[in-house]
Amino acid sequence: MERNMFALETRNVVKAYGTGTSVTKAVDGVTIGVRSGEFVALVGPSGSGKTTLLAMLAGLLKPTDGELMIDGQELGQMSEAQRTAFRRQKIGFTFQANNLVPYLTALENVELMLRLNGRLDKAGKARARDLLERLGLGDKLNNLPRQLSGGQQQRVAIARALIHDPAVVLADEPTASLDTERAFQVVETFAAMIREQNRAGIMVTHDLRMVQYVDRVLQMRDGKMAREITDRDEIFAMASTGLHDAPVAVELPRPAPQLVLEPVVVR
Amino acid sequence: MFQDTKEEFYDLTVVGISDGRQYNLQPSVMVPFRTWDELRPQGGQSAPNAELVANLVAVRVAEGSDLAAMADRIESQVADVEVVDRVTAYEATPGYSAQQSTLDTQRYFALLIGILVIGGFFQILTLQKVAQIGMLKAIGASNFVVGTAAIVQIIAVTVIGVALGAAFTLALSLGFPPTVPIVFSPAAISAAILSLLLIGPIGGLVSVRYSLKVEPLTALGLAQ
Ligand SMILES: Nc1ncnc2c1ncn2[C@@H]1O[C@H](COP(=O)(O)OP(=O)(O)O)[C@@H](O)[C@H]1O
Ligand SMILES: [Mg+2]
């Protein structure tokens, strides 16, 4: 079946705000599909509906219309409690800011995701430790978030978003608070992990330079899917236009130092 | 000297000092009945007060006596006397009930203010954590988990706070001069500690409710 090809799929999904004559369609009939192991960027000008779409994909917002399937389950039919359970089991999430619990160490923040799922056992603890080590945080396991840089905090969030074997990983502006060098490192690592662990990854970003690490770019405008770019050259061309939809090309910085990602057996 | 009053001085020999004897929070002196009759104001010429009188006579009866029969006998043999039990007697002390109700009002208001202050304190802590609570809900923490965490933390903070407060109060009370008429009875202390332990969670209920209402959408900056 075509349905089963995608870890995540929407059909003509709509989110409308307001009533009567003042209805705004923040998301207006979007149809997308993302496969496991595929990393997709969601771009578009401010107000084009990226965050609203992401919120629906995460089961945080109910679509006004359309269908929304994740891992073979229709989100629109679920109750609030069911969607909450679904989020903690099937979805990994990173946010722009306030990603981590400030009183928990890096390791505890990652373990939290397993704890919420009632799955924090010895093996889980070992995997959390492993994941953080592979994200270059082996010597920061017991640091509190405030003892970590912005980039390190985002990596902890990435580890938390991956630790519970989610079907889909959603990232809302993961580089918003990072400097250029760290931003490239974080997204590169993120992309590598998503492919290696075979998750479906969606990253909302306004920083077009970040699209060089994705397999596909979905560009939104006025709530609609305006353009889909799969061609590598086109993606690189877009990445070289720099931040936002700036018309001037900027020079891409040298590739960030490669993180050594050793192969790992998942589960 | 003013009006009909004239100050007079008497020499009394102190034979001993008793503990905790006060009348209307004033220090009091115990003297033999006859001595009291000599010392007490005798009134002016207009109101000769020759008769030996007392406001109150405490009677200690032997263990196992028939109190009602005793009261009847006293009332029948002594003129103008009313026999009452001990509690009725001191509650009838001038100003006693007025003062007691003032103290009670203060006590209840202190508890009420405690609920408001502690509740406000927890509310501020909760408001500071809205982003964090929103994030936790977005990654799938249920309202049950969030609510339980809030309640457990409120109880823990209250218990620690009351323990510190009780220790501090105890230390303070040891430094009280003996003239301060406060007695710390175990019953009163337990009642105070218990009601303080209760008002923490009661004051915190509002913030528990508030944390349940935080929308997970705040994690995306999209709360409605
Ligand atoms: N709660 C809301 N009520 C009304 N309009 C909203 C609400 N949330 C978002 N919108 C509108 O929906 C549109 C898309 O917003 P958003 O998804 O935040 O876009 P983006 O993330 O691409 O900047 C905007 O026009 C915004 O004003
Ligand atoms: Mg947005």
Query: Measured from the CA of A53, which atom of ligand 1 is nearest?
Result: 17
Per the model's pLDDT, the better-predicted residue between B123 and A258 turns out to be B123
Asked if residue B147 has pLDDT above 70, the reply is yes
Contact A95 B217 (CB under 8 A): no
Q: Return the number of other C-beta atoms located less than 10 Å from residue A189's C-beta.
A: 22
Distance A53 CA to ligand 1 centre (A): 10
Question: Which residues on chain B are in Cβ contact (under 8 Å) with A95?
Answer: 135, 138, 219-220
Q: How confident is the model at residue B70 (pLDDT cuts 50, 70, 90)?
A: confident
Q: How confident is the model at residue B47 (pLDDT cuts 50, 70, 90)?
A: low
Residue A230 is encoded by which pair of tokens?
């799969």
pLDDT at A109: 97
Q: Is residue A257 part of a domain?
A: no
Q: Is residue A40 part of a domain?
A: yes
pTM, two decimal places = 0.78
pLDDT cut 90: percent of chain A above it: 71
Q: How confident is the model at residue A259 (pLDDT cuts 50, 70, 90)?
A: low
Condensed to tens digits (0 to 9), the pLDDT of residues A14-42 reads 999 988 888 899 999 999 999 999 999 99
Give yes or no for residue B18 CB within 6 A of ligand 1.
no
Give yes or no for residue A45 CB within 6 A of ligand 1.
no
Task: Give CA–CA dist A88/B219, Å, rounded.
Answer: 15
Q: Distance from A233 to chain B by nearest Cα, in Å?
A: 32
Task: Give CA–CA dist B118/A248, Å, rounded.
Answer: 57
- The residues with which A28 forms a beta bridge, in sequence order, are A14
pLDDT at B217: 92
Residue partners of A195: CB distance under 8 A and separation at least 6? A37, A39
Contact B220 A172 (CB under 8 A): yes
Task: Select the highest-mean-pLDDT range: A184-188, A216-220, B36-40.
Answer: A216-220
pLDDT at B68: 85
Q: What is the DSSP string of chain A?
A: --GGG-SEEEEEEEEEES-GGG-EEEEEEEEEEE-TT-EEEEE-STTSSHHHHHHHHTTSS--SEEEEEETTEEGGG--HHHHHHHHHHHEEEE-SS--S-TTS-HHHHHHHHHHHTT---HHHHHHHHHHHHHTT-TT-TT--GGGS-HHHHHHHHHHHHHTT--SEEEEESTTTTS-HHHHHHHHHHHHHHHHHHT-EEEEE-SBGGGGGG-SEEEEEETTEEEEEE--HHHHHHHHTT-BTT-SS--PPPPPPPPP--------
pLDDT at A263: 55
Cβ–Cβ contact A159 with B under 8 A: no
Cβ–Cβ contact B156 with A under 8 A: no
Residue B211 is encoded by which pair of tokens?
């944390």
CB–CB of A144/A105 below 8 Å?
A: yes
Q: How confident is the model at residue A230 (pLDDT cuts 50, 70, 90)?
A: very high
Residue B217 is encoded by which pair of tokens?
């959408």
Ligand lying closest to the C-alpha of residue A222: 1
CB–CB of A186/A208 below 8 Å?
A: no
pLDDT cut 70: percent of chain B above it: 89
Q: Distance from B144 to chain A by nearest Cα, in Å?
A: 10
Condensed to tens digits (0 to 9), the pLDDT of residues B162-207 reads 999 989 988 888 888 877 777 778 888 888 889 889 988 888 999 9
Give yes or no for residue A258 CB within 6 A of ligand 1.
no
Q: Is the sign of the CA dihedral A223, A226, A231, A234 positive or negative? A: negative
Long-range contact pairs involving B148-151 (C-beta distance under 8 Å, separation at least 24): B150/B126, B150/B204, B150/B207, B150/B208, B150/B211, B151/B201, B151/B204, B151/B208
Asked if residue A164 has pLDDT above 50, the reply is yes
Q: Distance from A4 to chain B by nearest Cα, in Å?
A: 25
Q: Is residue A251 part of a domain?
A: no
- For A19, the domain range is 8-239
Residue partners of A183: CB distance under 8 A and separation at least 6? A151, A175, A207, A209, A210
pLDDT at B18: 78
Among A55, A116, A117, whose Cβ lies nearest the Cβ of B220? A55
pLDDT at A118: 93
Task: Give CA–CA dist A58/A53, Å, rounded.
Answer: 9
Contact B220 A89 (CB under 8 A): no
Give yes or no for residue A99 CB within 6 A of ligand 1.
no
Half-sphere exposure of A4 (CA within 13 A, CB side): 1
Q: How confident is the model at residue B16 (pLDDT cuts 50, 70, 90)?
A: confident
Asked if residue A125 has pLDDT above 90, the reply is yes
Ligand lying closest to the C-alpha of residue A46: 1
Total count of residues recorded for chain A: 267
Q: Is residue A245 part of a domain?
A: no
CB–CB of A83/B208 below 8 Å?
A: no
Q: What is the DSSP string of chain B?
A: -BTTB-------------SS-EETTEE-----HHHHHHHS----TTS---S---S----PPPTT--HHHHHHHHHHHSTT-----HHHHHHTSTTHHHHHHHHHHHHHHHHHHHHHHHHHHHHHHHHHTHHHHHHHHHTT--HHHHHHHHHHHHHHHHHHHHHHHHHHHHHHHHTS-TTS-----HHHHHHHHHHHHHHHHHHHHHHHHHHHH--GGGGGT---
Question: Which residues on chain B are in Cβ contact (under 8 Å) with A54?
Answer: 220
Cβ–Cβ contact A172 with B under 8 A: yes
Q: Is residue A12 part of a domain?
A: yes
Please state the rounded mean pLDDT for residues A229-252. 71
Task: Give CA–CA dist A102/A108, Å, rounded.
Answer: 10
Per the model's pLDDT, the better-predicted residue between A149 and A242 turns out to be A149
Contact A81 B142 (CB under 8 A): yes
Contact B137 A84 (CB under 8 A): yes
* B79: Cα separation from own chain's centroid: 38
- When mean pLDDT is compared across A8-12, B88-92, B162-166, the lowest value belongs to B88-92
Per the model's pLDDT, the better-predicted residue between A254 and B26 turns out to be B26
Asked if residue A250 has pLDDT above 50, the reply is no
Average pLDDT, chain A: 88
Cβ–Cβ contact B152 with A under 8 A: no
Please state the rounded mean pLDDT for residues B79-84. 85
The burial of A115, by beta-carbon neighbours within 10 Å (0-12 exposed, 13-18 middle, 19 or more buried), is given as middle
Contact A101 B138 (CB under 8 A): no
Asked if residue A156 has pLDDT above 70, the reply is yes
CATH no. for residue A212?
Answer: 3.40.50.300
Task: Give CA–CA dist B25/A188, Å, rounded.
Answer: 79
Condensed to tens digits (0 to 9), the pLDDT of residues A139-149 reads 999 999 999 99
Total domain count, chain A: 1
